[in-house]
Amino acid sequence: MKPASWSPSEAHSPDFTVSIVEDEPVLRQEIAFQLDHMGFSVKTFDSAPAFYRYLAVRPRTIAVLDIGLPGEDGLSICHYLRAHDTQIGIVFLTARGLREDRLAGLAAGADAYLVKPVDMEELALILKRLALRFDLHPHPIRRQDDFATGDWSIEPGTGFITAPNGMNVRISVSEGQILRALMNKSGSACNHAELATALELHPEEFSKHRAEVIVSRLRSKVERITGLSLPLRVVRGVGYSMTTKSCDQESVRQQEIS
């Protein structure tokens, strides 16, 4: 690995991080050490789940991904990130140097594809260029077509729901589809046919159990990450509704009609 000579004074503002997802500990620590010396704020992870937990609360990051990770590999992570956030910076840093591997990585949505051993100056310049996206969009851009319910909001194209305390929770495609349907109803009940439409299913193909699983998983995830309960309740014989204000877990449970 080529020693870096880039001056720390050239590093950018500390309001974002560089996330290194690499399962080889020595290499992970070496890259982190050199980037930290250059002035970057660096976080390291050895697997996709560890990275996703961090990303849920700190979405302002540039991802540096190995491909050959245990469990979910780097290509899968890249597909997921790009599907939920068109602006996030993604760099592959991998031992796979064949042309077809490089093309697959770029096709998955990566901004750059580097082969180990990496030239740290080259990596730093790529990260510096990707960081300009944060300068162009220093804060989430609110538009009139943003979906919002009281203090809870979903920013279109980001794959995150924002809680009243400002914390972000990464949501799946199906979770986002259901939340948008509920938010569009502004607290009124959303029936199962409407939920089926939101999930791009025919009502006859819709399973109430599927909605229950999605809602249960979403509630649990939101509370675990933000410490707040999603103001979403069951409406007996109809479906679900989402209230307009945050409330504590016990209040939500008392509002449910079982």
Domain co-membership, 65 together with 170: no
Is the predicted pLDDT of residue 21 greater than 70, yes or no? yes
| Joined tokens for residue 181 | 């349907």
What CA–CA distance (Å, rounded) separates 228 from 174? 21
Give the whole-angstrom CA distance, residue 187 versus residue 44. 41
Backbone phi, then psi, for 89, in 5-degree steps? Answer: -80, 135
State which residues form the domain around 127.
8-136
Domain edge (last residue) among 77, 110, 136:
136
Q: Average pLDDT, stretch 122-133? A: 92
pLDDT of the residue at 158: 59
Picking from 104, 136, 168, the residue at the C-terminal end of a domain is 136
User: Residue range 93-109: average pLDDT?
Assistant: 94
Do 113 and 154 sit in the same domain of this protein? no
Per-residue pLDDT band at 155 (split at 50, 70, 90):
low
Q: How many domains does the chain have?
A: 2
Q: What is the pLDDT of residues 205-221, one digit of tens each?
A: 777 787 888 888 888 88
CATH number at residue 227: 1.10.10.10
Let me know whether 32 and 60 are in one domain.
yes
Q: Determine the average pLDDT of the residues in 102-129.
A: 94
Q: Residue 57 falls within a domain, yes or no?
A: yes
* Strand, coil or helix: 56: coil
Structure tokens at 25: 């500990």
Question: How many of the other CB atoms lie within 10 Å of CB of 218?
Answer: 21
**Same domain membership, residue 132 and residue 163:** no
Same domain, 61 and 118: yes
Report if residue 142 sits inside a domain.
no
**Residue 52 within a domain:** yes
Residue 33: which H helix or E strand, with range? helix 25-38
- Same domain flag for 107 and 152: no
Q: Are residues 130 and 208 in the same domain?
A: no
pLDDT band of 8, cuts 50, 70, 90: very low
pLDDT at 64 over 80: yes
1 domain residue, yes or no: no
Say if residue 14 is in the same domain as residue 131. Answer: yes
The string of DSSP letters for 117-183 reads SPBHHHHHHHHHHHHHHHHH-SSPPP-TT-EEETTEEE-TTT-EEE-TTS-EEE--HHHHHHHHHHH
The answer to whether residue 141 sits within a structural domain is no
Question: Do both 123 and 151 map to the same domain?
Answer: no
Tell me: do 169 and 215 sit in the same domain: yes
Report the CATH number that the domain containing residue 17 is assigned in CATH: 3.40.50.2300
Residue 3 is assigned to a structural domain of this protein: no
Domain termination site, one of 110, 136, 162: 136
The pTM of the full predicted model, rounded to 2 decimals, is 0.56
Residue 50 lies in a domain: yes
Same domain? 99 vs 28: yes
**Distance (Å, whole) CA 222 – CA 234:** 17
Mean pLDDT within 89-97? 95
* 195 and 90 in a common domain: no
Residues β-bridged to residue 169:
161
